Structure 1
Amino acid sequence: MSDMSVICLKDYKKCGFEVESCELYFELFEEFVIVTNTMEINKLDAQEKHIKLDSQELELLEVYLNDLKLNDTRYDIQEESFTVYNVPNSFSLKIKNKLYPQNNTELEGLYKSGSIFCTQNEPEGFRRITPYLDRPDIMSVFTTTIVADKERYPVLLGNGNKQSSHDLADGRHEVTWFDPHPKPSYLFAIVAGDLGVISDEFITASQTKVELNIYCDKGAESKCFFAMKSLKDAMIWDEQKYGREYDLDVYNIVAVDSFNMGAMENKGLNIFNSHYVLADEDKATDADFMGIQSVIAHEYFHNWTGNRITCCDWFELTLKEGLTVFRDQCFSADLNSQEVQRIEDVKGLRERQFVEDASPMAHPIQPDSYISINNFYTSTVYEKGAEVIRMLHTLLGESRFREAMDLYFKTFDGRAVRTGDFLWAMSEVDKEKRVDFTQFKRWYHQSGTPILEVKDSFCDGVYTLDLKQVVPNKVDEIKQEPFYFPLKVGLIGSDGKEIKEEMLVVSKEEESFVFEGLEAKPYLSINRGFSAPIIIKQEKNEYAFLMKHDKDSFVKYESAQSFALETTEKLMESAELDAEFLNSFGYVLDLDVELSYKALLLELPSISSLMQRQKVVDFTPIYKAKERLEREIATEFKEKLLDIYRLHHKPKNKELDTVSVGERALKNRALRLLSSLESREVIDLAYKQYQESLTMTDRVVALDVLENITSHEGGLALDDFYERYKDDTLVMNKYFSIIAASQREGVLLRVIASQDDEVYDKRVPNLVRSLVGVFAKNYKYFHAADGSGYAFVADKIIEIDKINAQMASGLASAFKIYNRLNQNNKNLIKKELECVISTHSLSKNTYEIISKILKI
């Protein structure tokens, strides 16, 4: 078993050395790679006699200290470290080692994705390439030379700008890259392969020309143009919004199939999961295109919020990730629909982060300890971290937030900093001291989702709003203090007209806010725009009124969702369907609003949303009630839904403009609701849509509908889809996801059988996520009463942990609602997880997740 020691924030110590420069020489061969690493190092602490470098799974060949070759008495090699004894104050250290990328299934360090050499070094992959001070506060200037066979690997890429290239006598060639900007090792990257490319250029605000390249497998070049457009849009936006220009002569993106994450912001050489680069209308959905736009922008924005200014240690991860997620969310909102983007962001937060906050894996956005830092690339660090930044933006206002960001960039450029440094910049522009930053910091150090209990009253023209914060204890039951947050509220008259909107600042456990001079008790619109990541609980809810009259697009959506949630919960108790809810739903059907937004208003709550409201989760009544609500709505509004479908179904339209995307979203919402009727008419509509539509969006929705309601047409469509796209791994991810998410009987058997498909490869993270990962989110069958779903996923965790620990720990997270389940399901999970955690040589990634779930 790996080292399971806990790393704590309180134990952080500044390194006693600095790496002034690092020159790397890579000799790439088919069977192995030789790396020669020459570092110029200075001692910062005179008490340090020996230098201890991070090193993992490396075959050491030679070591030189100031050109003197060392014998093995001068250094020590351990499983995860390499120590050189008795080093001087300033010295050159040259290390030559061998590694085997073709055997690296962890996809960390240097590995091969198909025939492409590539790297992934965040957070601690560089130590798998060469011994180094592999920590984010060690920033150095890197020069990288790559040597390889020119025919097999004509493209050799590194960080920074290309310095030189020339052919060698033996059919090989070498290219040298120099990055003038000091960076930590996690931002280092190389790529070597026989790649296709599309190229463009960008002229910065200061009239500097930047060469833009997107590399991919040959033959896929035509799928890169949307990504290129997204990159240029992001560069323009960052200049206009934050005054940030790009700082190198070239910006390269490389798409690879085997990648643990979505993408990586390596300086000047972003390596991407191909899912977030390659797209055309035939093979990518509208959601895929929006995902590409967002992730391309996210990695570009990291150039300043992550690269030029990086985090001092991994406990500060949200410093770069939360801030950059906020920036990419704002970018997507500005380019598309503000209201739709905000709702989608909140939906994602609730589906993933709220569940995490209510589980044994709850942690602050700045965790105070970890066993494996890979496990903290979480929705809490990213999405909740973004909401914390958004609250600062709300509290300061647009202009002061921009002023604070300018100060942050100016003060800390080229440095590794802490979240406290970021908050310092925010506080420096807050001259009026409107924000209590001391209390606001609790968002960084406290976990869980606060609940705000709301009561109101009206007397003699005075409206009083009484608020009470209920802050959950930490996982270890330590009490936590009240948060400080903005709360946007609106008061609406009975005639539907807005009386006033105000931003309140909530900071106490209990407090009251008074509004005077009102003629009658107003209707309350609360947490407008989701101004704070909290749960609202009110004594009386006016959902129907707010669905009709609230001008705030988020609260209108929230009211529709909350009304549907409460209606479904009543159906779980065998009550009659609420007639007022049906009337309100019918009102939304007739609304003349932006079509994508209307599709969201008509969306019924997810199983996850319903699950979160139960003290003890039982999925059977949830599914039954949700299915009943869908049937009742489809029966009541069948003709209206059919009219919406017919009006907006345009199978030959494959444009990506707002209206076209909205039409597809709305008509497909109607089709999904109608599918609950399981009628021949709906089956024919879905099958015709699958056959005739030109977009992957329409095809996938039709395929999913058919798979869930008919084995015959569903089977025909699935077979056709397979034959059409079996040679395209990205599309086959959708195929496996549809099988794994199916609500028809026998899904587990079909998932098990799919593992033997020639297209499926358990070494490719995207395929594992699409089959096993999606099944683990299929609550109906993952949580089957006989425990078969648990046993299957537990076996996959053990199997995949030996291949890729990061993927295995991700699958283990599916069990995080363990503490919320009924006793039968808890017993079944405990049995399986105890089997997993007792496995010999289990990775620390997986051990940490399971030990937290079981509270070991």
Structure 2
Amino acid sequence: MRTDTGQIVHLADYRPTDFILERVDLTFELDPTATRLEARLIFHRRDGADPKAPLVLDGDELTLAELRLDQNELPAAQFDVTPDSLVIRDLPEAAPFEVTVITIINPEANGQLMGLYRTNGVYCTQCEAEGFRRITYFPDRPDVLAPYTVTIIADKATNPVLLSNGNFLGGGNYDEGRHFAAWFDPFPKPSYLFALVAGDLGIVEDTFTTMSGREVALKIYVEHGKEPRAAYAMDALKRSMRWDEERFGREYDLDIFMIVAVSDFNMGAMENKGLNVFNDKYVLADPETATDQDYANIEAIIAHEYFHNWTGNRITCRDWFQLCLKEGLTVYRDHEFSADQRSRAVKRIAEVRHLKSEQFPEDAGPLAHPVRPTTYREINNFYTTTVYEKGSEVTRMIATILGRDRFKQGMDLYFERHDGDAATVEDFVACFAEVSGRDLTQFSRWYHQAGTPMVTASAEYDAASRSFVLTLEQNVPPTPGQSVKEPMHIPLSFALILDNGSIGEPSSITGGEVTDDVLHLTERHQTFTFSGIGARPVLSLNRGFSAPINLDFRQTPADLAHIARHDSDLFARWQALTDLALPNLLQAARDARDGKEITCDPAFLAALLEVAGDGNLEPAFRAQALALPSEADIARELGGNNDPDAIHAGRQAILAHLAREGAATFEALFASMRTEGAFTPDAASAGRRALRNSALSYLSYLDGGVARAADAFASADNMTDMTQALTVLAHRFPGEAATANALGAFLKRFDDNPLVLDKWFSIQATIPGVATLARVRALMEDPHFVATNPNRVRALIGTFAFANPTGFNRKDGEGYRFLARQILAIDPRNPQLAARILTSMRSWRSLEPTRAEHARTALGEISAAASLSTDVRDIVERMIQD
């Protein structure tokens, strides 16, 4: 079915290609505005294919310079060509044949940053998902795999570094002023994993010895002068390689592994085989310019892209509907890596915070889609938190259901059976079903049904029969295109906590399957009876967030406080504190809306302050506990008719209550959690800084708050403490001279560091209140704002739209109108960036009527534009459809 913006692609329409690609030879002669590419492709017709079927190759804004078949120029009558397609007819029915395609492309003019582009003097490629077709005509789909030989010819003075996938074959002088390099990747790969980088770059080198004793050369390329800032990335890479050997038995397979950091990049990073290309914000770090979160992000993303070598590269996805097969699985792997490197409990809390703030709203809005969708219009729009984060949670549930050993066996079988394949979700699940003997058909609904399940729980203790009865009901809400849902297989980790804090052990459990302290909820209604319980226990349910659900379990504040004090699962303790906080925050939002006095439950205050001051708990956990549910969390829990100003005012009032009640605790934490000596990014030191900065935030609500924050800014000896102090000043005291002075000092000190300047822009973009829109507009006129750099646009415009509920959701609608005009300005040069920022309006229907109507009008303004990319058209139409 054709549309005005692109073709709707259906999973049900998948069929293999008529031709098998045997080999790819590419020769690039690089030029800023006229790069010449000769692509020699060897095909043979697939057995059983139509002997008369033509060869159809994809293109995108291409100009064909020359076309040959077996080195003979092809007559015009034998092919049809447009900028987006090349169709060749009358091809051999049996014998292999060679097609030579020559294209001329302009990397300098490629503002989309897809395909081959040139930025800051460096040639770079980004081919996922469909960027390779912007380089040459090609069967650009993930199930077409072939080995690649690549020769790069370029000016030697301006491009001393010439890189591509695989192992280096050799190079040397080519002709006057030019040189060449040749690369060979022996592992068949799809075109989306092709990479080329050329330019004048610095290098950081190391080696890694694999578990079989092979030595692998490791190289990270950065802009000259930034080499010292790549040291942590190199360390993270080596730890990732060793961890993947020890945890999953996966050894690296080429002679060299390379990373290149570039400043203009649409994504976080890209896992091209043997040559990862990174947004430089996820490579460069030192104590003066990077926060603890930056270090954690670098560690996680370096690991993620490296882990793709097996889950994404050696085994790729058959079609783009299977995207979760590589992304969700690899997110699970990088989460496990970070948990082993840092605090597992704190890492899990951070994962769930992100899931609830980003993926749950996606699942509840007009952009909801299954983890494995069945249709798409623009594949770039399905690089979503549902595919990545919920996809990871689905993998985690498989591990929970099967147990660690069986899960490892299933992964081993998957690697053994599908190495070199373009696989499907069904292939993946079948491996776990085979090793466990389980029927995972019902569980697979997690891949096919969109929406976040709601599980309602009620419990009752019968002293006479010494039994505890738990009744569960599950419901998956309707989502676009899926009005009726079937029951899911939901694994719920649990514990029965007795009065003394110990875990109760029932003599028997009936009502359904229970394995390793996990209840398997498989019916719409299910009742579990725990027998042999001598006293009423407190039930801790969905411990560790074993299933990505909304849980409606009306527990008393006393029971929640009991869990918060005694549960051995730190995630469950954090969740109990959150569940204690939410009723206070929800009521505060309602009271602020209605002009009533805002109060706070003393039991909640006492429980939270008890955890904050508990020296037996790691500081990072206590910092997470003190970070109350966000304004977005509150809006999600309220469900609809939301007033962002009231939510903000109510939350601020609760924070002020906590600050006053816990003043002595926060004073003590601020003094005692100072880290001494040289900065180190280890998890323990980062946790101490996090807790100290949480205390600073609370102390800002007390007398002298502005002076304390200004002193903290002036005395900070690392970027974590400096940006936190600057955030407190800007967000709590935006009109104070101390804030203006600090912002000015920060800019003066770091005006030559783009990544640090992004923090300066983001801090100001998130200042609460209606006045921030004027500030954002003024910052767009600042000479440091670069409209063509995706990082800078995300830092200012994206952060304002995604992370400033009161500033963006102004009641007069100016925030929405501003965003609409920015989307229309960004779209012509970078559709991918425009579409992703536009998703900030995904929850517009949950706003109160005045704001919702303004949002609808702004979306209508975008939709009515005469010319829109497929990316933006797809998003806006899904958001406004009834």
Deviations 1:585-621 (A, max 9, x none): 2211221211111111111110111011123222122
1:515 Cα deviation after fit: 0.6
- Any residues of structure 2 matched to 1:189-200 within 5 Å, and which? 189-200=195-206
Residue matched to 2:585 = 568
1:65 Cα deviation after fit: 0.6
Residue matched to 2:604 = 581
SS for the counterpart of 2:865 is: coil
Work out whether 1:373 is the aligned partner of 2:396: no
SS for the counterpart of 1:255 is: strand
Match of 1:170 among 173, 176, 180: 176
Amino acid at match of 1:46: D
Deviations 1:375-423 (A, max 9, x none): 0000000000000000000111111111111111111100101000000
Work out whether 1:600 is the aligned partner of 2:624: yes
Q: Is the 8 A contact 2:29 2:154 kept in 1?
A: yes
Residue matched to 1:486 = 491
Work out whether 1:298 is the aligned partner of 2:301: no
Q: Is the 8 A contact 2:495 2:539 kept in 1?
A: yes
What CA distance in whole angstroms lies between the structure 1 residues aligned with 2:482 and 2:100? 50
1:214 Cα deviation after fit: 0.2
Match of 2:530 among 500, 515, 522: 515
What CA distance in whole angstroms lies between the structure 2 residues aligned with 1:412 and 1:223? 38
Amino acid at match of 1:69: E
Residue matched to 1:503 = 518
Amino acid at match of 1:523: V
Residue matched to 1:547 = 564
Moved over 6 A (4+): none
What CA distance in whole angstroms lies between the structure 1 residues aligned with 2:859 and 2:635? 22
Match of 2:446 among 443, 453, 457: 443
Residue matched to 2:512 = none
Amino acid at match of 1:7: V
What CA distance in whole angstroms lies between the structure 2 residues aligned with 1:286 and 1:477? 42
What CA distance in whole angstroms lies between the structure 2 residues aligned with 1:447 and 1:294? 27
1:49 Cα deviation after fit: 2.8
What CA distance in whole angstroms lies between the structure 1 residues aligned with 2:675 and 2:16? 61
Residue matched to 1:74 = 78
- Any residues of structure 2 matched to 1:31-430 within 5 Å, and which? 31-44=33-46, 45-89=49-93, 90-430=96-436
Q: Is the 8 A contact 2:18 2:53 kept in 1?
A: no
SS for the counterpart of 2:372 is: coil
SS for the counterpart of 1:144 is: strand
Bigger drift between 749-758 and 736-745 goes to 736-745
TM-score by structure 1 length? 0.98
Q: Is the 8 A contact 1:739 1:747 kept in 2?
A: yes
Bigger drift between 656-665 and 205-214 goes to 656-665
1:79 Cα deviation after fit: 3.8
Aligned pair in 2 of structure 1 residues 628, 444: CA closer, same or farther (>3 Å)? same
Gap runs ≥5 in structure 2 = 506-515, 592-597
Residue matched to 1:559 = 576
- How many pairs does the alignment contain? 851
Amino acid at match of 1:799: A
1:473 Cα deviation after fit: 1.4
What CA distance in whole angstroms lies between the structure 2 residues aligned with 1:477 and 1:301? 34
Bigger drift between 453-462 and 491-500 goes to 491-500
Match of 1:811 among 824, 834, 837: 837
Q: Is the 8 A contact 1:653 1:660 kept in 2?
A: no
Residue matched to 1:713 = 738
SS for the counterpart of 1:497 is: coil
What CA distance in whole angstroms lies between the structure 2 residues aligned with 1:508 and 1:209? 53
Q: Is the 8 A contact 1:200 1:213 kept in 2?
A: yes
What CA distance in whole angstroms lies between the structure 1 residues aligned with 2:752 and 2:64? 40
1:472 Cα deviation after fit: 0.8
Aligned pair in 2 of structure 1 residues 477, 93: CA closer, same or farther (>3 Å)? closer
SS for the counterpart of 1:439 is: coil
Q: Is the 8 A contact 1:216 1:255 kept in 2?
A: yes
Residue matched to 1:467 = 472
Deviations 1:726-772 (A, max 9, x none): 11111111011011001255211111111112221111111111000
1:48 Cα deviation after fit: 4.2
Percent of aligned pairs sharing the same letter: 40
SS for the counterpart of 2:175 is: coil
Residue matched to 2:29 = 27
1:72 Cα deviation after fit: 2.7
Deviations 1:527-560 (A, max 9, x none): 0111000111113332211111111101100011
Gap runs ≥5 in structure 1 = none
Bigger drift between 733-742 and 498-507 goes to 498-507
Amino acid at match of 1:613: E
1:652 Cα deviation after fit: 5.4
What CA distance in whole angstroms lies between the structure 2 residues aligned with 1:372 and 1:764? 23
SS for the counterpart of 2:267 is: coil
What CA distance in whole angstroms lies between the structure 2 residues aligned with 1:39 and 1:539? 64
What CA distance in whole angstroms lies between the structure 1 residues aligned with 2:451 and 2:6? 25
Residue matched to 2:459 = 456
SS for the counterpart of 1:73 is: helix
Residue matched to 2:17 = 15
Amino acid at match of 2:724: V
Match of 1:692 among 715, 722, 727: 715
Work out whether 1:645 is the aligned partner of 2:670: yes
1:47 Cα deviation after fit: 3.6
Deviations 1:27-70 (A, max 9, x none): 01132200000000111113443111001111211000111102
Deviations 1:126-152 (A, max 9, x none): 000000000000001100000001110
Work out whether 1:758 is the aligned partner of 2:757: no
What CA distance in whole angstroms lies between the structure 2 residues aligned with 1:489 and 1:682? 42
What CA distance in whole angstroms lies between the structure 1 residues aligned with 2:762 and 2:599? 35
RMSD value, Cα:
1.3
1:841 Cα deviation after fit: 2.0
1:477 Cα deviation after fit: 5.2
SS for the counterpart of 2:185 is: strand
SS for the counterpart of 2:140 is: coil
What CA distance in whole angstroms lies between the structure 1 residues aligned with 2:484 and 2:358? 24
What CA distance in whole angstroms lies between the structure 1 residues aligned with 2:864 and 2:677? 55
SS for the counterpart of 1:537 is: strand
SS for the counterpart of 1:524 is: strand
Q: Is the 8 A contact 2:62 2:83 kept in 1?
A: no
Bigger drift between 561-570 and 218-227 goes to 561-570
Amino acid at match of 1:373: I
Residue matched to 1:832 = 858
What CA distance in whole angstroms lies between the structure 1 residues aligned with 2:567 and 2:752? 49
Bigger drift between 236-245 and 743-752 goes to 743-752
1:684 Cα deviation after fit: 1.9
SS for the counterpart of 1:766 is: helix
Q: Is the 8 A contact 2:449 2:482 kept in 1?
A: no
Amino acid at match of 2:80: D
Q: Is the 8 A contact 2:769 2:806 kept in 1?
A: no
Residue matched to 1:821 = 847
Q: Is the 8 A contact 1:2 1:843 kept in 2?
A: no
TM-score by structure 2 length? 0.95
What CA distance in whole angstroms lies between the structure 1 residues aligned with 2:197 and 2:671? 49
SS for the counterpart of 1:478 is: coil
SS for the counterpart of 1:253 is: strand
Deviations 1:163-215 (A, max 9, x none): 11011231100000000000000000000010000000001011101000000
1:112 Cα deviation after fit: 1.2
SS for the counterpart of 1:845 is: helix
What CA distance in whole angstroms lies between the structure 2 residues aligned with 1:539 and 1:637? 27
Amino acid at match of 1:75: F
